Structure 1
Amino acid sequence: MTDPRTANPRRTGAALALALAVPLGLTACTPGGETGGGVVVTTNILGDITRAVVGDEAEVTVLMKPDADPHSFGVSAQEAATIEEASLLVHNGLGLEEGVLRNVESAEEAGVPTLAVGEHVDPLAYTSDESEGEPDPHFWTDPQRVATAVGLITENVVAEVDGVDADAVRANAAAYEAELTALHGWMGGEFDAIPPGDRKLVTNHHVFGYLADRYGFEVVGAVIPSGTTLASPSASDLSSLAETVEEAGVRAVFADSSQPDRLATVMAEEAGVEIDVIPLFSESLTAEDGDAATYLDMMRANTTAITAGLAAP
């Protein structure tokens, strides 16, 4: 967070308020000159959440396009300049945005206030495969952690973005938090249709650990044994997972809708049993005419698909 000893004087009061409101360790250094043009957000999931909080109070620029991969998307020279002119840069952190990490680091070095949301929502660690022990960045699959993220974004916007109406931003946040509470309750009710013994997930890569932790699922494995889509499975990885899937009696493999399901299909064939491959919206929102145009839409669609795939016939 902003250090009040080095901050621009006109921001010092807001920075002190923020210091009392959010965890220590938040990076947000004030540029030496005038603030830039609003809030810049790296991923489209966080972008949608941030827009719900900010409303009409400031411009929100989202860098990641619909149906993109947060692990590999990059930015243009113009977008890189936009980052360094931001009043606030909101990014996921925990190693998610591998393609724009250097841009985030450059912005921090230039004194742009930044918020790595994932670092402050009680992150979990991966528990298996290549990423075991590393922090899992996919916190958004748990709506209760997203509610925590809303509070973080709210206080950073109020503290760092000049000209916003703090009461309006906090009212927007409260309304969105109420929607998240309703979403959490609805998801739990839908998942009640899945017998506890059938709450087993196999996905393209490790992305639903937070959902599993919140709603009592077991992550049996992933086709790509990693927390990033940039890794690749070996033949032995697929064979081992196939054996695990067969032993667990898993009926469905969930593949990200923005990526080909070839690997999941190959794994299903390797297992020698009939397994449905069901698409989910795991790491990116769709365009406005898609089924996951907002974070809330995405979570409802995923809940419906998971329940349909795993509930007893």
Structure 2
Amino acid sequence: MQGIRRTALAAAAAIATFVGLIGCAAGPADRPLVVVSTNILGDVVGQLAGDQVEVLTLMKPNADPHSFEISAREAARMRAADLLVSNGLGLEEGLQKHLDAAADEGVRTFVAGDAIDVLDYAEGDAAGTADPHFWTDPARMRAVVDALEPALAAIDGIDGARLHAATEGYRGRLASLDEEMTTAFEAIPAAQRALITNHHVFGYLADRFGFAVVGAAIPGGTTLAAPSASDLAELVSAIETSGVRTIFAESSSPDRLVRALADEADLHVDVVELYTESLTDRGGEAPDYLTMMRVNTERIARGLSP
């Protein structure tokens, strides 16, 4: 009987320990939910909040932020989020109705575009409207991080000290990135700092680092627009006038138009792929924001240097 009793007590103790461990281990259901529209911002939120929250990033790797769609389940989770983080400034065109619906139902929101000094498009079909591609300037991304910290700190259950330490560390990494980009771009002669890409995505980078945006194959702020024959003819003329030898195709957009321009200009023009609007998956070349910016910096500097 004593042996049976000892076995029973041991079993009961094991079960109690197991139950206790389950209670102590915080699974996704036990953590606050932060839903993020784009994968660039999803990476930043994860860097700041770490495992204190569940981060649901709606935009898949290698997607186009202007046109990606979400499932009904993801839309429902948006409306149940503790915080909804979006880019704003018209970027999430295919997602806007869901963002508006969640906000109307009382979900607390953070719009990154509200935290920065916004530039307008200077030319093309979108001239005079807000440019949403602020992340190409790491200084503006620091402004987003500064505003995002208190928004995350306001979530119930967040350890503010842990959040602050992680945020300070990320600010330092952004400052290092900014210095690296400044050094790399200063090595390019001013006359050769000319950018052409699929659509107007480099306004903030140009403003920050002294580039000229010569033009874009799609002359608007969205990949959903289409160029006319006259648009392409004007861009070919700009390529020939500026003497540009490298044009850039975005990883999230087809580069057929850019390659067609290179052929039509009757010049030797290299087409270089950049990761401007979407991160890759973990096995790709741009799995996080900082890496994406370093890859782009190296390719732009190499493509435009003598």
- Using the size of structure 1 for normalisation, the TM-score is 0.87
Give the Cα–Cα distance (whole angstroms) in 2 for the partners of residues 90 and 264 of structure 1. Answer: 33
Describe the superposition over 1:45-89 as per-residue Cα deviations: whole angstroms up to 9, x where unpaired: 000011111112111111100000000001100000010000000
CA contact (8 A) 2:250 2:275 kept: yes
Give the Cα–Cα distance (whole angstroms) in 2 for the partners of residues 59 and 262 of structure 1. Answer: 38
Task: Decide which structure has greater helix share.
Answer: 2
Amino acid aligned to 1:124:
L
Q: Look up the match of 1:114.
A: 109
Give the Cα–Cα distance (whole angstroms) in 2 for the partners of residues 106 and 197 of structure 1. Answer: 48
Q: Look up the match of 1:299.
A: 293
Describe the superposition over 1:259-279 as per-residue Cα deviations: whole angstroms up to 9, x where unpaired: 221100111122121111100
Structure 1 position 135 matched with structure 2 position 130: yes
Q: Look up the match of 1:104.
A: 99
Give the Cα–Cα distance (whole angstroms) in 1 for the partners of residues 146 and 186 of structure 2. Answer: 29
Match of 2:260, SS state, is helix
Alignment of 1:1-313 (within 5 A): 37-159=32-154, 161-312=155-306
- Relative to structure 2, which stretch is displaced further, 298-307 or 117-126? 117-126
Match of 2:284, SS state, is coil
Structure 2: which 5+ runs fail to align? 1-29
The alignment covers a number of residue pairs equal to 277
Give the Cα–Cα distance (whole angstroms) in 2 for the partners of residues 174 and 183 of structure 1. Answer: 14
Give, in angstroms, the shift of residue 37 of structure 1.
4.0
Structure 1: which 5+ runs fail to align? 1-34
Give the Cα–Cα distance (whole angstroms) in 1 for the partners of residues 253 and 88 of structure 2. Answer: 22
- Using the size of structure 2 for normalisation, the TM-score is 0.89
Question: What's the % identity of the aligned pairs?
Answer: 51
CA contact (8 A) 1:37 1:85 kept: no
Misfit runs of 4+, over 6 Å: none
Give, in angstroms, the shift of residue 247 of structure 1.
0.3
Amino acid aligned to 1:163:
G
Give, in angstroms, the shift of residue 238 of structure 1.
0.6
CA contact (8 A) 1:239 1:271 kept: no
Give the Cα–Cα distance (whole angstroms) in 2 for the partners of residues 93 and 172 of structure 1. Answer: 24
Match of 2:51, SS state, is coil
CA contact (8 A) 1:239 1:270 kept: no
Give the Cα–Cα distance (whole angstroms) in 2 for the partners of residues 37 and 267 of structure 1. Answer: 48
